[in-house]
Amino acid sequence: MNAFVLNRHGRMVFPSNIMPELDFSTMETLEQLDSVIRRDFETKAPSGTEILERVRTGAYESRYDLMRDLALNLFWANRFSITMYDKRPTRWGDLPRTRPDVFLPVLEPWEDGEAKVTGVQEAYPTLPSRWNEGCEDRIFQILFDVFANRRNHASTLPAVKPTVAGFLEQPGALTFRLRGYDPDYPVYDYTDILDVSEDVPELEALHRWAMVLHNQYPWDRSQVELADASQMQDDDWVVAFHPRDKEVRAFLRRLRAGHAPRPVAGPRESRPPVRPYPELDVRRSFSVQPRIEALAAVHGDQVCGNDDLIRNTAYNWSPMSAEEIAAKTGIEQREYSSLPLEELALQAAEAALEKSGRQPEEIGAVLVCTCTSSRLIPSLATYLCGQLGMHQVYAAYDLIAACAGMPYGVADAVRMLQEVERPVLVVCVEKFSDKIGNVRTSRMIFGDGAAALVVGPAPEGTEGDIDYMKTYASGPASEVNSILWPNPEFDNNITVFGPQVKALAGRYLSQMIDELGQLPAPDGRDGSLMDAIDLIVPHQANKTMVIGLAERAGLTADQLYFNIEQVGNTSSASIPLAIHDAVRDGVITEPVRVFAPGFGAGAVAGYAVMRVDPAVVAVQTASVPHEQGADLPAPTASAQTGSASEGMQEAFG
């Protein structure tokens, strides 16, 4: 888990963004590691030669641009040592010679290193400051001290270092030699790094980068040189590399054993079903009509604004401003929770039960829709039963339908009503904030939150609240696998493949609107069911994308309601959270017919056409727990469209 922390200034910090830690439990081969290293370090980082060329050609527009390149170069130069090893200065005479888990790096002298260092040193004062000259000078001093004292070439570093015995078998092999070593050489404490505070978000991120890089060389760097074994004296110090944890040790053992990963069969060509699946006309198909007795929501208690993302820029992110994030996603902030997933779900469930006036013993079934639970035994649904004091229910289970969770959950609840004729508690809950890692596209989009509905039997002789419902799943394998978690290729973090997500969302949304356009309006009204819709509350995936897809399908932006600007994408919880906020903010003030489509990971989708009465919504008073959210406007049913095509691949990865 990659949880956020709050520093002493009350600012949100993502340690995984600034302190590279790969999950080696997912690594099987050097090729797999190489792919991750190239993606996270190499593709963004310029070489020393490229930096010097940019200096000579005047390519740098500001001091910040030059410093950012220096930092990226230094992360690249440390790409294996920072992710795989602990560096421990050790006296040559005390260095174990035969242990299989102690390594020495073999290094090549840095070609033209002096010219590159001199070029940077002379260029920096000639460049204009981007934001704050004093702050930029302080950061440059940290970075340049590391850059100027580099001794080795960075492009020839292997991931697996030779053992000490292997090093001794290579005549002329060079490694670090320290003429002296002070164990109290000053380094930045973990808390020091978290507590960095700069007015400019970009400089705050760069300052943290510089501190992390400084800590990679906790000795007097000016006294370091490269030497071979024949030049070593017993009192010389060398830098021994030790595997940083048991997972790196296990990875190195796997490499020595030479185990090949199992081949994975490719997917078959996808084919459409032999005939379409019909939508469910709830009034005609079921004898027990569903009534929405209550809807309650629990928002995250910490706001992560776009500036917070920039303050936490990871070393593998392309430059992007807070304004660009808003333009590409429609998100100004996302809400995170300090609570565990289970507590979010429990609070939503308790609030919904209280609003409905139902006691736990009256509930016939509990369904939990989530794609971010790590609880398998017992399921989150059965855990809630125990916490709520439900001695026995007809059924309790978790349902993984990702962003279509609410339509799937409501559909199952309606079917369950036919069997038990007792209210069904449907809880939609997600906690993404601790599962994202340093993948920017995921960090930009996802938030935390929960909502719960009590779906009970309507009194005999009365109409229910749900007109139609339908679920879908699957498609081409590229769409099925368009959002992955855990993903071994991205260090087990949530990964979003934007073009495939856009393809499945467009396919399903167009299909849904076509189907609703062919159904008759209810209650004998003229026109189609689509014409009878008062408000569309879609899954809050990416506002820019959804509006573009909706307009392509013949809808207008003012027919759609969004709260994604403030809460982000909360997957299964997004639709009920949005309905709650629409009531809270006065968009829904009387009973309305809502079309609620959801679509997402696994190429799943679904919708419900239902009556929403604001009287059954347990309104949670809006709060702003973080000062960056204080001036954000309340969401409305009208949306600013922007350009749906601009930057979509960048917005989703």
Map tokens 């419900």 to a residue: 608
Closest to 181 measured CA to CA, from 103, 241, 225, 237: 237
Average of per-residue pLDDT across 393-411: 97
Domains of the chain: 5-255 (no CATH), 280-616 (3.40.47.10)
> How many other CB atoms are there within 10 angstroms of residue 89's CB atom?
17
Q: What is the DSSP string of 381-414?
A: HHHHHHHHT-S--SEEEEE--GGGHHHHHHHHHH
Share of the chain above pLDDT 70, in %: 95
The chain-wide mean pLDDT, for the chain, equals: 91
Least-confidence region, from 88-92, 149-153, 283-287, 350-354: 149-153
Is a pLDDT exceeding 90 seen at residue 567? yes
User: What is the side-by-side order of every strand in the sheet holding 617-618?
Assistant: 395-399, 365-369, 424-431, 448-457, 290-299, 617-618
Is a pLDDT exceeding 70 seen at residue 644? no
Q: What is the pLDDT of residue 287?
A: 95
> How many other CB atoms are there within 10 angstroms of residue 440's CB atom?
21
Q: What is the DSSP string of 109-172?
A: B-TTHHHHHHHHHHHGGGSPPSS-HHHHHHHHHHHHHHHHT--B-STT--SSPPBHHHHHTSTT
pLDDT digits (tens, 9 = 90+) for 94-141: 999 999 999 999 999 988 889 999 999 999 999 999 999 999 999 999
Q: How far is CA 370 from CA 138, 409, 452, in A?
A: 46, 10, 12
Given 207, 214, 539, 626, the catalytic residue: 539
Q: What is the pLDDT of residue 156?
A: 80
Task: Provide the pairing of β-strand 424-431 with 466-473.
Answer: unpaired
**CA 397/CA 348 separation, integer angstroms:** 17
**CA 525/CA 12 separation, integer angstroms:** 52
**CA 425/CA 583 separation, integer angstroms:** 21
Is a pLDDT exceeding 90 seen at residue 238? yes
Active site residue 369: no
Q: How far is CA 113 from CA 123, 147, 458, in A?
A: 15, 10, 78
- DSSP assignment letter at 603: T
Is a pLDDT exceeding 50 seen at residue 643? no
Closest to 465 measured CA to CA, from 456, 474, 473, 477: 456
Is a pLDDT exceeding 60 seen at residue 220? yes
Least-confidence region, from 111-115, 416-420, 432-436, 561-565: 111-115
Active site residue 403: yes
310 within 8 A of 322, measured Cβ to Cβ: yes
The three-point CA angle 563-566-569 to 5° equals 70
Q: What is the pLDDT of residue 263?
A: 77
Given 403, 428, 542, 563, the catalytic residue: 403
Calculate helix-pair angle for 113-123, 133-148, nearest 10 degrees: 170
Is a pLDDT exceeding 80 seen at residue 431? yes
Active site residue 259: no
Given 17, 306, 493, 569, the catalytic residue: 569
**CA 267/CA 29 separation, integer angstroms:** 23
**CA 352/CA 366 separation, integer angstroms:** 12
**CA 524/CA 258 separation, integer angstroms:** 71
What b-and-e string marks burial along 155-165, b requiring 16 or more CB atoms within 10 Å of the CB?
Answer: eebebebbbbe
Is a pLDDT exceeding 60 seen at residue 645? no
372 within 8 A of 475, measured Cβ to Cβ: no
**CA 431/CA 413 separation, integer angstroms:** 23
Q: Where are the alpha helices (DSSP H) in 472-573?
A: 477-480, 498-518, 543-552, 564-567
**CA 86/CA 243 separation, integer angstroms:** 6
Q: What is the pLDDT of residue 329?
A: 94
Q: Is the peptide bond before 378 cis (omega within 30 degrees of 0)?
A: yes
Q: What is the pLDDT of residue 622?
A: 57
Closest to 428 measured CA to CA, from 473, 368, 380: 368
Most confident of the ranges 274-278, 332-336, 549-553: 332-336
Which residues, in sequence order, are CB contacts of 160 under 8 Å at separation 6+?
A: 30, 252, 255
Could you tell me the two tokens for 258? 């030479």
Is a pLDDT exceeding 50 seen at residue 342? yes
Which residues, in sequence order, are CB contacts of 173 under 8 Å at separation 6+?
A: 106, 162, 167, 228, 229
Q: What is the pLDDT of residue 377?
A: 93
Closest to 537 measured CA to CA, from 583, 471, 497, 501: 583
pLDDT digits (tens, 9 = 90+) for 193-212: 999 999 999 999 999 999 99
Average of per-residue pLDDT across 248-253: 95
**CA 61/CA 617 separation, integer angstroms:** 54
Closest to 380 measured CA to CA, from 390, 389, 370: 370
Closest to 308 measured CA to CA, from 19, 568, 571: 568
Closest to 210 measured CA to CA, from 318, 72, 15, 83: 72
Is a pLDDT exceeding 70 seen at residue 627? no
Amino acid sitting at position 588:
I
Supply the pTM of this predicted model.
0.89
Could you tell me the two tokens for 632? 């954000």
Task: Provide the pLDDT confidence category of residue 68 given band limits of 50, 70 and 90.
Answer: very high
Calculate helix-pair angle for 63-77, 48-56, nearest 10 degrees: 160
Could you tell me the two tokens for 541? 């995936």
**CA 23/CA 2 separation, integer angstroms:** 11
Is a pLDDT exceeding 90 seen at residue 380? yes
Better pLDDT: 66 or 624: 66
How long a stretch of residues is the chain?
653
Task: Provide the pLDDT confidence category of residue 628 given band limits of 50, 70 and 90.
Answer: very low
Average of per-residue pLDDT across 299-328: 95
Is a pLDDT exceeding 90 seen at residue 638? no
Is a pLDDT exceeding 70 seen at residue 631? no
CB-neighbour burial class of residue 199 (10 A; exposed 0-12, middle 13-18, buried 19+): exposed
Is a pLDDT exceeding 60 seen at residue 636? no
Q: How far is CA 331 from CA 515, 564, 642, in A?
A: 30, 6, 13
Q: Is the peptide bond before 486 cis (omega within 30 degrees of 0)?
A: yes
Is a pLDDT exceeding 90 seen at residue 76? yes
Task: Provide the pLDDT confidence category of residue 626 given band limits of 50, 70 and 90.
Answer: very low
Amino acid sitting at position 13:
V
Which residues, in sequence order, are CB contacts of 178 under 8 Å at separation 6+?
A: 89, 219, 220, 223, 224, 236, 237, 238, 239
Task: Provide the pLDDT confidence category of residue 530 given band limits of 50, 70 and 90.
Answer: very high
Share of the chain above pLDDT 90, in %: 80
pLDDT digits (tens, 9 = 90+) for 454-491: 999 999 889 999 999 999 999 999 999 999 998 877 77
Calculate helix-pair angle for 201-214, 133-148, nearest 10 degrees: 30
Could you tell me the two tokens for 204? 């705050």
Is a pLDDT exceeding 90 seen at residue 241? yes
**CA 37/CA 82 separation, integer angstroms:** 11
CB-neighbour burial class of residue 93 (10 A; exposed 0-12, middle 13-18, buried 19+): exposed
